Structure 1
Amino acid sequence: MTALGLAVLDLAGTTVTDAGIVEDAFTHAVVREGVEEGGARHDRMMRYVRDTMGESKITVFRHLFDGDEETARRANSAFEEGYAQMVAAGRCAPLPGAREAIEELRAQGCAVVLNTGFSPRTRDDLLASLGWTGLADAVLSPADAGRGRPYPDMVLTALLRTGAPSVEAVAVVGDTPYDMRAGRAAGAGLVAGVLTGGQQAEDLRAAGADRVLGSVAELPALVRESARVPRPATVS
């Protein structure tokens, strides 16, 4: 394994626990658009939301409303409003050991970029509520990179922002299959799933995880281990 010099970490479910407010904020948004909570259409929508957890939220709304861009954007704004209210009510918290892991990685010389399917506004509100503004080397949303997961854009943008030497030196860590697919698409040297978001280990491995960790708190040990692995001898 190449020595890891950049960790690209997901937010909700990986470094932060949000007590189900993503689904609650989606419900807030679709009800605003006339979808009956608890009805058959709402249930179908929530199944899709769960299946695509980790994807850009505006992309999810475009699917939910059959490509109607105006409705999707209006619903996305309502999502952001609802999520912000729930964050302000104290429903988000760092996962145990997450802040310490980020600080330890950076102390080891490994850059850290936080990435998410949230818009920059929602992401920044969340980080401010946790006191995490400035904790990482950079924070990215799909709007900062081009496309969201499962595309590799945010991972590759993180590499360019931090000056990591190669994709093989990048670790991508997340709690959803979409995180794993993005890491694989980017060619990351390590793609690791975590079990703190509710996904099963076999689903993360099927989506491309090299390793499945109990939590992000285990990542600094893997980075230290990568630095100790001898590089293959070159043949002249």
Structure 2
Amino acid sequence: MNQRLEVQAVVFDWAGTVVDDGCVAPVAAFRDVFGRRGIEVAEEEIRRFMGLAKKDHLRALLRLEAVRLRWRAALGREPGEEDVDDLYNEFVPIQRAVLAEHADLIPGVEYTVLRLRERGIRIGSTTGYTSEMMEVLVPEAARRGFCPDAVVSSSDVPEGRPAPWMCYENALRLRVFPMATMVKVGDTPGDMEEGRNAGMWSIGILEGGSVLGLTRVQREKLPELELERRMGEAEAELRRAGAHYVLRRIDELQRAVDEINQRLSQGECPCQ
């Protein structure tokens, strides 16, 4: 007898998806660590690689020609792997120091997780933060109402996003199989690629996310037409990265899960 497949687990990203509306904390830390060397890195440049493991993010920034030019102008030489190590060693305490300030839940998260659990769906999570950083963020988020069943950081696996290892580790810890019954929810292209590479359904979130790059206050101040234009651009970017669905807000997730269950019942899988 064929078993009816339904969604068994939802794996959330952290910053920009469940906490830190606008994904502000990583931007501030990256700008700080470069600024200490007299090098300005634009927010747009930083957000381009959001979702990667933080050391990979630093490498990616140093590969940008514009950043390399500023580095040479400030320091008189090309950046190398030793500089990546030095930047990273400075970055970790800077990032840890600001995480507690950016641990408030994005509106709709607590309600959404509650509803998922009422349906018997397990809650996992992945992050580009390291386990050392998550030692700060996890208890802060728990005090605010978000306590996933599994927390897997980029330092817990051989390679961060877009590799699938954090999602596979979630499957192990949550004891969920097949991967087609798991959903990855995030706010960056790396999240979408991570879910796709793991054989999961990938769902992008716009409001609060890094691709949109606006806090709630900034969204409220923006003219409606301009906000819709930016929303459209952000949605297109997430879809290009492989998103099966793109939602404006996280509290729309229940309907997407219902639709995924319908597609699973018809024999569809995320790889199609």
Bucket of the pairwise TM-score, normalised by the shorter protein: 0.7 to 0.9
Aligned residue number for residue 157 of structure 1: 169
* TM-score computed with the length of structure 1 as normaliser: 0.84
SS of 2:163's equivalent?
Answer: coil
1:130-167 per-residue CA deviation (whole Å, 9 max, x = no partner) reads 32698111101111122111111111111122111201
The offset of 1:71, in angstroms, is 3.1
The answer to whether structure 1 residue 231 and structure 2 residue 242 are counterparts is no
Indicate conservation of the 8 Å contact 1:65/1:71, yes or no.
Answer: no
Structure 1 pair 230–75 and aligned structure 2 pair: CA distance change class (3 A): closer
The offset of 1:47, in angstroms, is 4.5
Distance 1:134 1:201 in 2: 26
The offset of 1:8, in angstroms, is 0.9
Structure 1 pair 213–18 and aligned structure 2 pair: CA distance change class (3 A): closer
Gaps of 5+ in 2: 64-78, 212-233, 268-272
Distance 1:96 1:83 in 2: 23
Gaps of 5+ in 1: none
Distance 2:21 2:86 in 1: 23
The answer to whether structure 1 residue 97 and structure 2 residue 100 are counterparts is no
Task: Using the aligned pairs only, state the percent identity.
Answer: 29
Indicate conservation of the 8 Å contact 1:127/1:133, yes or no.
Answer: no
The answer to whether structure 1 residue 176 and structure 2 residue 188 are counterparts is yes
1:9 aligns with one of 2, 9, 12: 12
Aligned pairs for 1:1-236 (under 5 A) are 2-18=5-21, 20-32=24-36, 34=37, 36-38=38-40, 42-43=41-42, 47-65=44-62, 68-88=80-100, 90-130=101-141, 131=143, 135-188=147-200, 190-196=201-207, 197-199=209-211, 200-227=234-261, 231-232=265-266
Indicate conservation of the 8 Å contact 2:131/2:155, yes or no.
Answer: yes
SS of 1:105's equivalent?
Answer: helix
Distance 1:230 1:146 in 2: 31
Indicate conservation of the 8 Å contact 2:12/2:186, yes or no.
Answer: yes
Q: Which amino acid aligns with 1:56?
A: A
Distance 2:130 2:244 in 1: 28
The size of the alignment, in residue pairs, is 224
Indicate conservation of the 8 Å contact 2:18/2:109, yes or no.
Answer: yes
